[in-house]
């Protein structure tokens, strides 16, 4: 008799991960094969569109409660960087830049705010002023700073569905589209799903004179921006789009392939100089086991010459998380199948970047789902992947608990094969944070208490858990301070038996000098239940500046809550600054208020250290104050 399994929650949260449109393959083979002809591509798309309308099977196996949502794909994170006398964006890998809302060269702050590029002369702080305000027309929300160029990334799009209204992300622009009616002669099984229409715009701006920025070039794609990286002058974009399949789908046989693949264009000096398909059919790959028709494309170009250097490679798989080293880029695609028994697997696709463009290398698969980009790390050609596999509940027999694991995959021909693994880590718990540093790994799992695991990964074929420490609460981000110390941020928690009540924001310093015996050196709990920080889920809001041994994080402080589910009163909204040292631990230096305590008006906040000054940047403007005099009235620039 088939057992009927039901979820205690349907929340295997897909933020940052993804769920394939369909997954008819039974063997789960993640390898990719290049299309041999336009006809093969069109036949593949037709089959996937038709299959996407078929019944998806029963729901005999579903996940248990467990875990937190993964950070958004755009929540890229890091490894504290500094250059000269100022802090830089928090990066995961040295030499691999990541976009953020704020960049600095130590003299100027470059800010993507309210659809504009704002340039603020920051040093000296008492003479701080906004010197330029450039409208880009595409609502940028992330930028790079590369020498004398700012690269602004924008996304604008809408879902064209039955409601008939599409809202484009540009300022105040609303586009009305008639609701699409199904032709009377068309079967619902033969209609492709309503397309998600999107556009990614890359604007390259010269800031050779920061007071007079000028647009050099604009690159646009009919695709959603999943993530990006910059290595040297080469920008690597990971884009998700859906081929423009005609309706009814049978018409695809007579449709030119160029009309199916989304387009891209390059404009220099306001004049379009290049228009082409996002990727050519001959540079497209598909899974051996069909996996829907979402198209992930890696586009690479030199920001000084996007028209002459653009190269693209695409795969018909939905992009989930993106990780990149200086040598390679990896894209994950997590699949959830609930027919018969739970199958929760993550495909990992590798692209070589050493030639300046993405070249497909191979693919592999591991059980479970990946939390965020820090759950992946490359070392000496091997990719380490930390995963959680959900448990299941059944009315007959014992439930299956969640399980955690670390897999090490290496290239073997056209595959990424598992070279070594550690499975069965903390049954019943879920990974809340992971970090890999050289040959060492760190995991935090949680259910009612936080175990910190240390792993020796020096032998890829034989990874082992070396040490474990149980402490209250949990960590969502692990930051290496030095070789022997970790600085983490997370939440304090009150054990309530089978679950825990989350409390204030918790900062911890761990001593891992004795790798088999990690120790909690110090901790600081800020606020009570309801206290939040953007740095909990976006490590770019976490700024540890080692030259000053100072940590700055945005914080919405709630105080005075009781036990259990009770919340207290909001008392502060701004930035907290702490002194953090390996020897003395954590000490609060002070705080900088940025909005009323009962206001949750900061949609985002970044901090920058220049010399001995802290700069706090938000959509509203910039505040600056000396680190050793945080109580003084700040210098301010307000964005009008």
Summarised one tens digit per residue, pLDDT across range 350-362 is: 999 999 999 999 9
Mark out the alpha helices in 478-543 (DSSP H runs): none
Asked if residues 408 and 418 have their Cβ atoms less than 8 Å apart, the reply is yes
Closest-CA residue to 384 (of 343, 436, 329, 426) = 436
Q: DSSP state, 392?
A: B
User: According to the 3-state scheme, what is the secondary structure of 338-383?
Assistant: CCCCCEEEEEEEEEECCCCCCEEEEEEEEECECCCHHHEEEECCEE
Q: 506: helix, coil or strand? A: strand
Residue 401 and residue 410: Cα distance in Å, rounded?
A: 29
Residue 518 and residue 244: Cα distance in Å, rounded?
A: 54
The predicted structure's pLDDT at residue 289: 85
CA distances from 569 to 42, 529, 556, 561 (A): 59, 10, 11, 7
Closest-CA residue to 432 (of 424, 442, 423, 422) = 442
Strand segments, DSSP code E, in 560-603 are: 569-581, 585-593
pTM over 0.95, yes/no: no
Closest-CA residue to 67 (of 388, 449, 443, 468) = 388
How many Cα atoms sit within 13 Å of 182 on the Cβ side?
A: 13
Residue 66 and residue 62: Cα distance in Å, rounded?
A: 12
Closest-CA residue to 541 (of 584, 587, 572, 505) = 505
**Residue segments in the chain with a per-residue pLDDT below the cut of 50:** 1-27, 54-80, 157-197, 340
The predicted structure's pLDDT at residue 403: 92
Asked if residues 533 and 591 have their Cβ atoms less than 8 Å apart, the reply is no
The predicted structure's pLDDT at residue 407: 99
Closest-CA residue to 487 (of 579, 593, 590, 374) = 579
Asked if residues 249 and 49 have their Cβ atoms less than 8 Å apart, the reply is yes
Residue 130 makes CB contacts below 8 A (sequence gap 6+) with 118, 119, 120, 121, 637, 639
Q: 545: helix, coil or strand? A: strand
């Amino acid at each position: 008799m088939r057992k009927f399994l039901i979820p205690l929650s349907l929340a295997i949260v897909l933020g940052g991960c993804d769920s394939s449109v369909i997954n008819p393959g039974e063997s789960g083979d993640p390898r990719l094969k290049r299309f041999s002809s336009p006809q093969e591509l069109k036949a593949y798309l037709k089959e996937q569109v038709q299959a996407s309308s078929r019944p998806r099977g029963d729901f005999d196996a579903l996940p248990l409660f467990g875990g937190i949502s993964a950070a958004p794909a755009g929540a890229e994170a890091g490894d504290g960087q500094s250059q000269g006398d100022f802090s830089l964006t928090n990066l995961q890998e040295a030499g691999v830049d990541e976009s953020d809302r704020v960049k600095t060269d130590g003299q100027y702050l470059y800010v993507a705010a309210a659809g504009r590029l704002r340039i603020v002369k920051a040093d000296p702080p008492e003479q701080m002023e906004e010197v330029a305000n450039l409208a880009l027309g595409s609502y940028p929300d992330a930028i790079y700073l590369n020498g004398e160029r700012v690269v602004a990334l924008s996304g604008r799009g809408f879902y064209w569905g039955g409601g008939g209204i599409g809202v484009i992300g540009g300022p105040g622009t609303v586009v009305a589209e008639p609701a699409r009616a199904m032709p009377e002669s068309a079967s619902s099984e033969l209609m492709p799903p309503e397309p998600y229409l999107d556009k990614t715009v890359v604007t390259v701006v010269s800031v050779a004179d920061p007071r007079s920025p000028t647009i050099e070039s604009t690159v646009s794609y009919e695709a959603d921006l999943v993530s990006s990286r910059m290595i040297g002058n080469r920008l690597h974009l990971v884009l998700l789009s859906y081929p423009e399949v005609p309706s009814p789908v049978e018409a695809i046989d007579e449709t030119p392939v160029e009309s199916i693949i989304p387009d891209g264009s390059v404009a220099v000096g306001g004049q379009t100089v290049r228009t082409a398909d996002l990727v050519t059919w001959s540079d497209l790959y598909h899974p051996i086991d069909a996996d829907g028709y979402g198209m992930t494309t890696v586009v690479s170009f030199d920001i000084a010459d996007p028209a002459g250097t653009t190269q693209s490679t695409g795969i018909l798989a939905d992009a989930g998380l993106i990780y990149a080293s200086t040598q390679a880029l990896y894209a994950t695609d997590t699949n959830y199948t609930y027919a018969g028994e739970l199958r929760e697997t993550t495909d990992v696709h590798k692209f070589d970047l050493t030639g300046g463009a993405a070249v497909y290398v191979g693919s592999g698969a591991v059980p479970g789902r990946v939390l965020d980009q820090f759950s992946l790390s490359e070392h000496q050609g091997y990719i380490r992947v930390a995963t959680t596999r959900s448990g299941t509940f059944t009315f007959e027999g014992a439930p299956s608990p969640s399980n955690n694991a670390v897999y090490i995959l290496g290239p073997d021909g056209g595959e990424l094969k598992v070279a070594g693994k550690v499975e069965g880590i903390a049954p019943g718990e879920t990974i809340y944070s992971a970090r890999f540093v050289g040959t060492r790994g760190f995991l935090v799992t949680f259910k009612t208490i936080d175990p910190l695991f240390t792993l020796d990964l020096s032998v890829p074929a034989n990874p082992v858990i070396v040490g474990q420490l149980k402490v209250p609460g949990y960590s969502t981000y692990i930051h290496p301070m030095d070789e022997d110390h970790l600085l983490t941020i997370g939440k304090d928690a009150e054990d309530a038996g089978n679950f825990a009540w989350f409390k204030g924001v918790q900062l911890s310093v761990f001593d891992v000098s004795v790798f088999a015996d990690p120790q909690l050196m110090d901790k600081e709990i800020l606020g009570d239940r309801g206290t939040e920080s953007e740095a909990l889920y976006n490590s770019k809001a976490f700024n540890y500046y080692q030259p000053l041994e100072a940590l700055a994080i945005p914080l919405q402080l709630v105080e005075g809550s009781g036990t259990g589910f009770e919340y207290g009163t909001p008392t502060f909204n701004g930035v907290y600054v702490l002194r953090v040292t390996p020897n003395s631990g954590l000490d609060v230096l002070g705080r900088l208020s940025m909005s009323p305590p009962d206001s949750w008006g900061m949609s985002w906040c970044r901090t920058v250290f220049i010399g001995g000054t802290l700069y706090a940047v938000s959509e509203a403007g910039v505040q600056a104050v000396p680190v050793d005099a945080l109580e003084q009235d700040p210098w301010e620039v307000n964005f009008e």
